Structure 1
């Protein structure tokens, strides 16, 4: 099942990557976004209503990748996700639509064609922005990082995390989590005409690319120890290069001795920072958050010294969404990482989704049930020290 699904995705991308202008031309609701790309435009699915205010944009490389961003939905890194969102259908159905629009036949797409297109796309990602723009973006990231302090020393972060239901010793927060007392909020995410003060404080996470290089900062905007009064409070700074496979730096994998007296490694993956902190408190497992389901789906495996993949455990902690996006994300990632040779465990909350909510995550479980709500717990000798 996995290989067949991946084969379909690879073949559709081989047809569509570099041709997303042809695909998107079939959707009249995208015409404004196409004509004004990469500027932000009204939501193409709610045009004519108040909620259609500027909140959608196509990525700079959208013709190659089909990628887009919606202020409410988050990043959609490829055109398959964009079409599935537009049509409110599954990704498999979206791929059928894409093939139909292009007039192609994926049965004729060879492995050679797929490999050639993947190499072309890698070149596109490496040329994500000009050298001058890369330098400017990195300088902005460094300026904020260098004027931040450890979140462990920031009372406002402690108050915020406590308000979210976390209970640990916040003076033991990972050094990679930072705090800045004055950051400008991107007002493009606001309704037109909103003239409120754009300056807030922020909890900051260091975002690394798949090779472990610092590349961006994840910001959770705060005001007086609570989320800032904005519709979108968690934003990633514009990265200087491709961040697919990247993650928010938090913990290193733990190494322990297995039942056969040989070393093993363990780490957990999830979407958000607060969810990761809740899992750490509930289980003692070191965590690596990835910001969103889209980026979690593209997560890379880890290399821990000389420990082979066959002795490396990656636990995946998925959100439980009504749309099943969170569940599908971790299941697809589990299949890929298992195929690469890792030991993979998938955990999805058993808790019911409340009637007025779109999802539940492991932070919700922790708030409601505490550590008893988690299916695993590490021995204190190897667990992350959070209390």
Structure 2
């Protein structure tokens, strides 16, 4: 069988697939998949099984782990869509499969078409399109991670001004603050629902395993003037190779000693280091926090938890503390004492730092 992929110049959004049996296109595949996306996803993305069993309800994210970071939409049978708390929403099954399996759009199109009895539209028989090899996704993801890292630069580089402005605007650019583990990318593509919507400067942070192995990269999309980019999900983890485990990993902002602090977010960890002078790492989310694994030479762990209206931050911190105590480590949970402002979902230790700075500023007037 010979497979030809053609992008019609008169309509750049209209993908067509041809083999010896005839033609099919994305609109044909969408039409046949509608009402059958649960079967398609079950075959092409087996890790979605927990979400398929609990449609519309939160389950552990198939990419990032945790406890409740992902759900499929209630109309998933019709659309194939879902949402990740870290990466944002995927409006249809094509976008979801691209995210899950590290596929290009044409790979997802071919794979979905191969699961459906498609009519060719010209009287021909169903179109036997071969599926892309899912085993290649780990290599593809690893290559993408290495590419982004190679393109990034030291925060002190002359071109990294947007990152320095971002940190300065958040009072996190003090002399001696450990930001050397962070990197800057001058123009990182942003993808939403399987489509590239632009390129932005970005803060890049390596996420490493308990053994120090690079798992993936955390991206914070920025503007040139040092604000968070106005995109659906300005903070995202890159999809990591399937042969690696994200559980237990963290962003190591400073070398750990016998004592270590752990937070959810990067900015929170930087704030904790400014306030305490002690090393702190970022777990990237509440779900990742409760699964964190400190290095073997750490004997005292301080968990700088977020205070959320939902209680998620504290609950995850307590789970981690109990697990660490069961393994003989000293574990202490610290929660911000400040009240949650009206209209906010919670506060963290970065908010505490900013409040203290405002008080000092007012007192000096």
TM-score exceeds 0.5: yes
CA RMSD of aligned residues (A): 3.7
Whether contact under 8 Å (1:247, 1:289) holds in the other structure is: yes
Partner residue in 2 for 1:293:
286
Deviation at 1:205, TM superposition (A): 0.3
Aligned residue number for residue 335 of structure 2: 348
- Number of corresponding residues: 260
Cross-structure match for 2:130: none
- Supply the distance in 2 between the matched residues of 1:66 and 1:335 (Cα, whole angstroms): 31
Displacement, 1:321? 0.1
Asked if the contact 2:178–2:254 (Cα under 8 Å) also holds between the matched residues in 1, the reply is no
Instruction: Give the 3 Å change call, closer, same or farther, for CA 333–205 of structure 1 in structure 2.
Output: same
Please say if 1:330 is aligned against 2:317.
yes
2 CA distance for matches of 1:317 and 1:371? 21
Q: CA deviation at 1:211?
A: 2.5
Contact 1:59–1:67, Cα closer than 8 Å, also in 2: no
In the alignment, which residue of structure 1 is the partner of 2:83?
none
Q: Distance in 1 between matches of 2:313 and 2:145?
A: 29
Do the aligned residues in 2 keep the contact of 1:268 with 1:285 (CA within 8 Å)? yes
1:161 alignment counterpart? 167
Report what 1:232 is aligned to: 233
- CA 1:169/1:198 → structure 2, altered by over 3 Å: closer, same or farther? same
Q: Distance in 2 between matches of 1:298 and 1:33?
A: 32
1:80–1:360 CA distance, 2 compared to 1 (3 A): closer
Residue 249 of structure 1: how far off its partner (Å): 2.4
Q: Which of 274, 278, 288 is matched with 2:271 structurally?
A: 278
More helix by share: 1
- Length-normalised TM-score, structure 1: 0.59
Structure 2: how far apart are the matches of 1:236 and 1:329?
A: 20
- TM-score under structure 2 length normalisation: 0.63
Q: Structure 2 stretches of 5 or more lacking a match?
A: 1-34, 74-132, 361-365
- Provide the rounded CA distance (Å) in 2 between the counterparts of 1:80 and 1:288: 20
Cα pair 1:293 1:326 within 8 Å, conserved: yes
Shift of the alpha carbon at 1:134?
Answer: 1.4
Larger radius of gyration: 2
Q: Which sections of structure 1, spanning at least 5 residues, go unmatched?
A: 1-30, 40-57, 87-128, 255-264, 374-387
Counterpart CA distance in 2 for 1:131 and 1:337 is 36
Task: Report the CA distance between 1:288 and its aligned residue.
Answer: 1.0
Q: Deviations over 1:107-150 (max 9, x none)?
A: xxxxxxxxxxxxxxxxxxxxxx9652211111111111111111
1:332/1:342 CA distance change after superposition, 3 Å: same
